[in-house]
C-alpha cells in the first residue's frame, strides 16, 4: 500500500515556517511603504520647485498661490498647481500647496492621513531638501 499525502506534522511545520517568515517580512514592508510615501512628497516638492524656477524665468515672478488636494483642485485653471505650473501631481497620499508672494514662495506637502505631518521647501533654498515637521508619526 503506497499512500500519498502529507502528514499532520509536515503541515504544522509548513504553517510554522510561513508564520515566521511573515513575522519577519511585514515590519520591513511597513518601513518600505513609509519611506516610499515620504519620497513621494520630497520628489513632488522638488518638482514644484523646478516648475516654479521655470515659471519665474519665463514670467519674472513666481506663482504665488496654488493648491492641489484632489484631482479637481489640481487642474482648476486659476488656482490649481497642476494647471498653473504644468505638472501632474498625484494626490493619493499628499495635498500640495504653494503660498507666498511673487518674489518668494513656500511649497508644502501635507500628509492626508495625518495633517500635522508636512514637508516644505522655500524658494530661498530650492536646491536643498524639503524640511519635515510632524514628528515620528510622519513618514
Percent of the chain at pLDDT exceeding 70: 99
Quick: pLDDT tens for 83-136.
Answer: 999 999 999 999 999 999 999 999 999 999 988 999 999 999 999 999 999 878
What does the domain layout of the chain look like in residue ranges? 10-137
Position 18 pLDDT exceeds 80: yes
Residue 76: all three cell numbers together: 482648476
| DSSP 8-state class, residue 5 | S
Task: Tell me the C-alpha distance between 97 and 76, whole Å.
Answer: 13
Quick: pLDDT tens for 104-115.
Answer: 999 999 999 988
Residue 121: all three cell numbers together: 521647501
pLDDT of residue 108: 96
pTM above 0.95, yes or no: no
In whole angstroms, how far apart are CA 51 and each of 16, 22, 35, 56, 102? 52, 43, 24, 9, 14
Q: What percentage of the chain's residues is helix, strand, coil (to nearest 5)?
A: 50, 20, 30
Amino acid at each position: 500500500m503506497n499512500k500519498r499525502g502529507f502528514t499532520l506534522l509536515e503541515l504544522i511545520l509548513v504553517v510554522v515556517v510561513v508564520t515566521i517568515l511573515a513575522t519577519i517580512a511585514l515590519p520591513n514592508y511597513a518601513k518600505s511603504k513609509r519611506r516610499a510615501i515620504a519620497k513621494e512628497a520630497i520628489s513632488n516638492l522638488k518638482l514644484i520647485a523646478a516648475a516654479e524656477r521655470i515659471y519665474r524665468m519665463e514670467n519674472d515672478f513666481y506663482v504665488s498661490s496654488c493648491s492641489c488636494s484632489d484631482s479637481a483642485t489640481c487642474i482648476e485653471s486659476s488656482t490649481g498647481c497642476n494647471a498653473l505650473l504644468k505638472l501632474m501631481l498625484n494626490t493619493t497620499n499628499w495635498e500640495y500647496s504653494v503660498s507666498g508672494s511673487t518674489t518668494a514662495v513656500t511649497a508644502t506637502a501635507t500628509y492626508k492621513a495625518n495633517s500635522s505631518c508636512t514637508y516644505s521647501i522655500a524658494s530661498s533654498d530650492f536646491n536643498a531638501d524639503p524640511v519635515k515637521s510632524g514628528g515620528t508619526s510622519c513618514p
